[in-house]
Amino acid sequence: MTIPETMNAVEITQSGGPEVLVLNENRPVPTVGFGEVLIKVAYAGVNRPDALQRAGLYNPPKGASDLPGLEASGHIVAIGAGVSKWKIGDAVCALLPGGGYAEYVTTEASHCLPIPAGMSLLKAAGLPENHFTVYSNLVVRAGLKSGETILIHGGSSGIGTTAIQLACSMGCRVFVTAGSEEKCAACVALGAEAAFNYRETDFVAEMKQRGRADVVLDMVGGPYMQRNIKALADDGRLVQIAFLQGPKAELNMVEMMTRRLTLTGSTLRPQSILAKSRIATGLSADVWPKLENGQIDVVIDSEFALSDAAKAHERMETSAHIGKIMLKVSD
């Protein structure tokens, strides 16, 4: 196919609210570099880091596109030097350094994965950001194992719905927190043993009744730190992947030491190309078969046109969504 010189893309015109996302119909198509592929984007996922970048709170890494968008699905239309795994026309989903809110995007070839058999491009676009994050933190960093108990905060989010399904597929006992009865019910439907409405229920007390958690996956931070520690069993692991209520908290180191607790966590975007490639390899071996046999699926909340990216961000910032918010970029 002929690759045009310009494309539609949603740009961040200045730091601010969703209204600063504006469609540019004449954005230059990016040039594929060494080890990269150029993807004609079908769908792109909307994620919290996109909203943080739009608000001026999360700058893209050096050399990354200034456009938002950390995951997409589509077809490869150009291949850079040094790439042997993919060919033009291959359908892929990909983790991106940025640039997903556009008709074309480049990324490292090693950060692409095949579309799981039987899965639509819509759902596949919602895989990379969440699965790279959840797998690397729960399996690689926290060492979650079959038979262990996990508490997942924000269970109805894209990260949460992914973590529930992955942990259940591993044979773990899964408990979650969410902000409404509707969200709690959705989490239980995905396999959680119980879901606690954090507006009405003390999750620490609930977990103590159930023997506490071997692993806690948290994206709240701030005031949750000490509560998470109290919800952990001895030798438990607290995994921090965000801090929606602040990055600072008081920590009782005596409890950490006497109960042999581990505090870990990571952010995905700044990691090296090699580190992300290794995560992709792990996903291919451990998670993609579960996607293909139906053990794990992608929960889609809503779909917006690329030109309605501002509305998609408005939806995300209501926190009313259950699962992934997606942008349809092209047919």
Cβ burial 105-138 (10 Å sphere, 16+ → b, else e):
bbbbbbbbbbbbeebebbbbbbbbbbbbbbbbbb
Report the pLDDT value the prediction gives residue 245, as an integer from 0 to 100.
Answer: 83
What single letter denotes the amino acid at residue 213? A
12 forms bridges with which residues in the sheet? Answer: 21
Task: Give the alpha-carbon dihedral of 281, 106, 291, 266, to 10 degrees.
Answer: 60
The tens place of each residue's pLDDT in the chain, 331 residues long, gives 799 999 999 999 999 999 999 999 999 999 999 999 999 999 999 999 999 999 999 999 999 999 999 999 999 999 999 999 999 999 999 999 999 999 999 999 999 999 999 999 999 999 999 999 999 999 999 999 999 999 999 999 999 999 999 999 999 999 999 999 999 999 999 999 999 999 999 999 999 999 999 999 999 999 999 999 999 999 999 999 998 888 888 888 999 999 999 999 999 999 999 999 999 999 999 999 999 999 999 999 999 999 999 999 999 999 999 999 999 999 8
Q: How far apart are CA 259 and CA 159, in angstroms?
A: 28
Q: pLDDT tens digits, residue range 236-291? A: 999 999 988 888 888 889 999 999 999 999 999 999 999 999 999 999 999 999 99
Q: How far apart are CA 196 and CA 218, in angstroms?
A: 14
Q: pLDDT tens digits, residue range 23-53? A: 999 999 999 999 999 999 999 999 999 999 9
Report the pLDDT value the prediction gives residue 326, as an integer from 0 to 100.
Answer: 98
78 forms bridges with which residues in the sheet? Answer: 38
What is the set of domains in the chain, with CATH numbers? 6-127+272-328 (3.90.180.10), 131-265 (3.40.50.720)
Cβ(160)–Cβ(107) below 8 Å: no
Q: How far apart are CA 226 and CA 219, in angstroms?
A: 14
Report the pLDDT value the prediction gives residue 331, as an integer from 0 to 100.
Answer: 85
